[in-house]
Amino acid sequence: MSNIHLRGLDDRLTHQLKQVAVDQSVSVNTLILNILRQGLGLSRQHRNIVYHDLDKLAGTWTGSEAEKFMKNIADFESIDKALWK
């Protein structure tokens, strides 16, 4: 594991780093490591991927089509109590 000395931090940046570290309940060192990992694409955090492949379908149903769909899935709203004994 290597150590790197970071120079050139102005007061505003230092203050902001400390504030964000407090808000996230982590040390400034941990915060900076997390920022670097995320910026370099090495983050261990789960990324939320947004897909747009179905966007063209959004809002295309007519009122009667939506009503028919809701009628067809109504059975999924009921609970089979025998299954939960």
CA–CA distance, 38 with 14 (Å, rounded to integer): 19
The residues near 69 (Cβ < 8 Å, ≥ 6 apart) are 61
For residue 10, pLDDT over 90 is answered with yes
Q: Do 20 and 12 form a contact (C-beta atoms < 8 A)?
A: no
More confident residue, 20 or 79: 20
Closest-CA residue to 43 (of 35, 52, 51): 35
To the question of pTM greater than 0.85 for the whole model, the response is: no
Q: What is the pLDDT of residues 40-49, one digit of tens each?
A: 988 766 667 7
Would the pLDDT of 80 be above 90?
Answer: no
The string of pLDDT tens digits covering residues 56-71 is 888 888 999 999 999 9
Question: Which residue type occupies 73?
Answer: I
Q: State the first-to-last Cα distance of the chain, in angstroms, to the nearest integer.
A: 55
